[in-house]
Structure 1
């Protein structure tokens, strides 16, 4: 039934997708592109408002109200037509991405169809809850996520730090799905004077620090103001958007900080290339894809020593860490890069070499191997289930 080399049919249930822009969506887009290259067939069920198709994959929007304490996410509840479409598609495997609202339906459909499941963990929802005044719910959220993930034949996570945490919380069958980026797109190149002027607010000779990502409480962006300023000749660009965007603009009022909004494609690459340093204060990242993108554009990274980014940055070699409990170190490290341009160049060059070693195609090929592993695990469990009644029915010796 499941040839090891034949193309697969994969049904994907994801809580987030285009037009939203974040690390999870970036990974999903690369994943679908690689499936198309390899000849695998996929169908994606996600939130409404996305494109009808991406990289040859049909995209089916599933509606629902917005999540109360995190309005960028929806409580997506599928109707009967989703089950009909899944059963028509006849997948070899169902992949639930960050199962929370929509993912449980994917797990349920897999049981009805008797096909394997793979679940991938991307967002530390329990930790996020503390930033939205719902920290008391963290134990309940961990229990809920553990219950969902432990129904899957294989669970994937994006970093060794997250793997350790999930196992500590009782998640089973957890494997490390490595991360990579498109280094054909994210690569060094000449600075665009217009982008440099835009991000420095017309002061291109100043030292430019950037951050790229979602503007939300768990990202720790408010910390930047008091630890970077006042440093004369320093500029900050916070690229992105999200629920805290307007509050951040008010918080940074009176500082040399610009908010260019979300940048995509060539504009995002130009923004990385325009920077002198990339600062990543978040302590909640399960991986931190943007740090790798910055490295690929030959920009030195300063990051909090926390979460998934510890698999990317080697302190003092290809980037710099600061202690999350001592955020004042951010300003010290920025000043160090400003005063030591040769050291900055060394970190940038080593970061570039590391990023080039993380091929996105290799990471997606690893995912396909995990799919095949999930299929093997499922088949083995089916065989054990068939054998048990026979054994139990035998008379005792």
Structure 2
């Protein structure tokens, strides 16, 4: 099906470059592959995105910071420019990534223009409202109802793990399927390990066993669950490094003060690949992941993951073969699993080799070809649902308004 005619895709997203996270990585790598497959996207994004990403044009949408809860998140606002850009682009289909604010307007825009619609579910926003605190928990029920309603206007809904497919169905989202996982096995691989990076991550103790975390530093990532393990393991010479930043960084730095822990801030490109490959084990206690791309990147780097048995993480980790799954909140078992990987070189090598082999099965090209097939399915379903056109004389000649 992916050999069909090129498509023009209007993609609305709540997050995009220069922000870096798993959703942005999924979008950018998909855009790379869509371009190589001959398709063209017009990206609507909040914040301060680049004007182009490869062959695809990016429309900067007026936005405001999600203060005070998550200042890094920019909330996109509907404007007349969106309607003008949509009219000029003539998309074949709209793809709404996490329809909450801006992407929800993309859903509305698709319906106003009678266009096929695919929506993808990447972030469990209702769960985040509870985890972020500061009064947001009252929004859990209405946000879930809003998100379910937005998704149910789409011909196809995609989730990035089988666990999230089940979760979407539980909350009433229909027409749900899987968008296969993928990882860059060329950029992330074991031979990216680097002595200088190892020295940096261990604060000058490269011989020490090293636990790594990569990602946002915020409350919903459950990173406080790593405090007890590093306190227990520090007397054994173990060190820890957090790569990334976010609204919880200052609080975490205070929490981990006095432990052998390094905070590097954001890393990207070759530095990030070196950080992954230079660690001994990746710790991932988050219970709110819809997939956990960073876990896949660690596995591609030949570094086993010890993660929470929650959300989409079990879709990534094969317990006992490519890493370990731990019951959320069970810090004693989390500590024991981390200790086992760090102290048993044969176990670490076996898990790391299996993790790398598993990652090599999941390419961005295959995942994007699957996405294009879902685009084509959305078009087919839309054609089947499209109402019979009225006679020309009965149509209104007023200018079309809206986005």
Q: TM-score higher than 0.5 here?
A: yes
1:192–1:63: structure 2 CA closer, same or farther, 3 Å change rule? same
Query: In the TM superposition, what are the counterparts of 1:87-236 in structure 2 within 5 Å?
Result: 87-133=87-133, 134-189=136-191, 191-231=193-233, 232-236=236-240
Query: In the TM superposition, what are the counterparts of 1:386-397 in structure 2 within 5 Å?
Result: 386=388
Residue deviations 1:25-81, cap 9 Å, x none? 000110110111011111100013111101111011111222232222222113111
**Structure 1 residue 16 corresponds to structure 2 residue 15:** yes
- Specify every segment of 5 or more residues in structure 2 that has no aligned partner in the other structure, as ranges: 390-403
Distance of 2:73 and 2:361 partners within structure 1: 33
Give the CA deviation at 1:137.
Answer: 2.3
Q: Does the 8 A contact of 1:87 with 1:113 survive in 2?
A: no
Residue deviations 1:79-113, cap 9 Å, x none? 11121011100000010100111122212221232
Query: In the TM superposition, what are the counterparts of 1:1-397 in structure 2 within 5 Å?
Result: 5-68=4-67, 69-133=69-133, 134-189=136-191, 191-231=193-233, 232-382=236-386, 385-386=387-388
1:391 corresponding residue in structure 2: none
Distance of 1:121 and 1:78 partners within structure 2: 21
Residue deviations 1:190-242, cap 9 Å, x none? 53111000000000010001000000000011111122213221000000000
Distance of 2:331 and 2:125 partners within structure 1: 23
- Specify every segment of 5 or more residues in structure 1 that has no aligned partner in the other structure, as ranges: 388-397
Comparing 179-188 and 203-212, the one that deviates more: 179-188
Q: Does the 8 A contact of 2:225 with 2:329 survive in 1?
A: no
Q: Does the 8 A contact of 1:228 with 1:330 survive in 2?
A: no
- Cα-Cα RMSD: 1.5
1:394 corresponding residue in structure 2: none
Distance of 2:25 and 2:200 partners within structure 1: 25
Over 3 Å off, 4+ runs: none
Q: Secondary structure at the match of 1:229?
A: helix
Give the CA deviation at 1:153.
Answer: 0.9
Give the CA deviation at 1:181.
Answer: 1.1
1:256–1:8: structure 2 CA closer, same or farther, 3 Å change rule? same
Q: Secondary structure at the match of 2:109?
A: helix
1:234–1:291: structure 2 CA closer, same or farther, 3 Å change rule? same
Distance of 2:287 and 2:369 partners within structure 1: 29
Distance of 1:141 and 1:186 partners within structure 2: 36
2:399 corresponding residue in structure 1: none
Q: Does the 8 A contact of 2:2 with 2:372 survive in 1?
A: no
Comparing 68-77 and 275-284, the one that deviates more: 68-77
Number of residue equivalences: 384
Higher relative contact order (CA 8 A, sep 6+): 2
Give the CA deviation at 1:121.
Answer: 0.6
Q: Does the 8 A contact of 2:45 with 2:60 survive in 1?
A: yes
Q: What TM-score results when the alignment is normalised by the length of structure 1?
A: 0.94
Give the CA deviation at 1:11.
Answer: 0.5
Distance of 2:79 and 2:178 partners within structure 1: 33
Distance of 1:13 and 1:89 partners within structure 2: 14
